[in-house]
Amino acid sequence: MAEFTMELSDEQKEVRDWLHGFAADVIRPAAAEWDEREETPWPVIQEAAKVGIYSLDFYAQQYFDSTGLGIPMAMEELFWGDAGIALSIVGTGLAAVGVLANGTEEQIGTWIPQMYGDANDVKVAAFCSSEPDAGSDVASMRTRAVYDEAKDEWVLNGTKTWATNGGIANVHVVVAVVDPDLGSKGHASFIVPPATPGLSQGQKFKKHGIRASHTAEVVLDNVRVPGSCLLGGKEKLDARLARAREKAKKGGERVKNAAMATFEASRPAVGAMAVGTARAAYEVALEYAQTREQFGRPIIDNQGVAFQLADMRTSIDAARLLVWRASWMAINGKPFTAAEGSMSKLFASETAKKVTAQAVQILGGNGYTREYPVERMHRDSAIYTIFEGTSEIQRLVIARTLAGMPIR
């Protein structure tokens, strides 16, 4: 286990500064354009691929940083550049993690390279879990996967919604129900390979923020995938279902929801994204407050403005510390006995919403226009309290964990 220190290593600082440079020189200057276009910023993703930021190798290296700080630092810097573009760059990672967590070595080797493509022909991937009637309540998912034994194929039917990169992805990872009697224990994940007949994009959403990130419905109409596309394989699934049926038969046994546990470890990364957006807005507001003069002096000379900046910076630093603590716990296998992962996501996302609103206020009329980036950052920040579990769901998870109650 890494010894605790608040000091970043030289190597960590180097990576952070390199990412910051990319965010400042490539992402930030492109932010307003892609926000207006509401399209996937392919040229920026390609630039990221050329320098090695858009690749599994890069994220794997960050993930295995023994302090746990590699991923949160990367997220904070990229999202400091721009949230919509950064999500377009890291969104594929959601699907890749789905395969890494549940797939066999062969599946990892086959599908992850196809998710990213290469610098000359970049691809993206989508992770499709949410449905119109199954958002926070994942267990009410309806998309069905039925095994056709004669052909060794799975047949998928249903409608997914809110999928980042849905429909434009080269590879889709789809979560579906294989045993409706088992609730979320009866779910399994499938790879839908490129150009599989029956998978189509439904509505593409026009969003409030993170508009450079593509979000759409994904319709699955008799989508047939080979048996080898079931993540983890049939034997493992059958054994898992048998165990779940056995537990269900015994009844009353409190089983911690595995999906919730996985989210608990991944939530600090979303918290770090929120810290990046909050920090970006705070920096713009600080500079503006020091240069904008009213009543013959910079507006920061008024306590009403200065104290807001003090509170903004304090909350951002507190949010980062919660994110870093949870990330350190995750990589070192510490149990989240107080739902520390959810705590970090809850506090950082609420901080981003508050801080970006304060930044708009400090910039006055300018803050309300698209001439200044805080307007976009304020819109972007609203996503953090919604995806990967809303703030209410984080509170529910924290409260139930503290009370020793089952999550569902």
Residue positions annotated with a catalytic role: 388
- List, in sequence order, every residue forming a beta bridge with 172; answer none if it has no partner: 126, 192
Determine the size of the site formed for ligand FAD (CB under 6 A): 20
Torsion sign across C-alpha atoms 166, 169, 175, 176: positive
Helix (H) or strand (E) holding 401: helix 391-402
According to DSSP, residue 134 is labeled B
CA neighbor of 119 nearest in space, from 171, 217, 42: 42
The DSSP secondary structure of 216-250, one letter per residue, reads EEEEEEEEEEEGGGBTT-HHHHHHHHHHHHHHHHH
Q: How far is the CB of 127 from ligand FAD (least distance, A)?
A: 5
Which residue's CB atom is positioned nearest to ligand FAD?
Answer: 135
342 counts as binding ligand FAD under rule CB under 6 A: no
Sequence-ordered list of residues with C-beta below 8 angstroms from that of 198, at least 6 positions apart, any chain? 156, 220, 221, 222, 223, 224
Residue 94 binding ligand FAD, by CB under 6 A = yes
Would you call 154 helix, strand, or coil by DSSP? strand
The smaller minimum CB distance to ligand FAD, of residues 93 and 367, is found at 93
CB of 114 to ligand FAD, least distance (A): 18
Q: Does 212 bind ligand FAD (CB under 6 A)?
A: no
Residue number with CB closer to ligand FAD (92 or 358): 92
Q: Site for ligand FAD (CB under 6 A): which residue of 392, 399, 402, 405?
A: 392
Q: Does 346 engage in binding with ligand FAD (CB under 6 A)?
A: no
Strands 125-128 and 171-177: what pairing? parallel
Residues 169-198 that bind ligand FAD (CB under 6 A): none
State yes or no: residue 215 binds ligand FAD (CB under 6 A): yes
Is 396 a residue that touches ligand FAD (CB under 6 A)?
Answer: yes
In the range 109-168, which residues lie near ligand FAD by CB under 6 A?
A: 127-130, 135-136, 162-164
- Minimum CB separation from ligand FAD for residue 222, in Å? 21
Three-class DSSP category at 3: coil
- For ligand FAD, the binding residues (CB under 6 A) are 94, 127-130, 135-136, 162-164, 207, 210, 215, 383, 386-387, 390, 392-393, 396
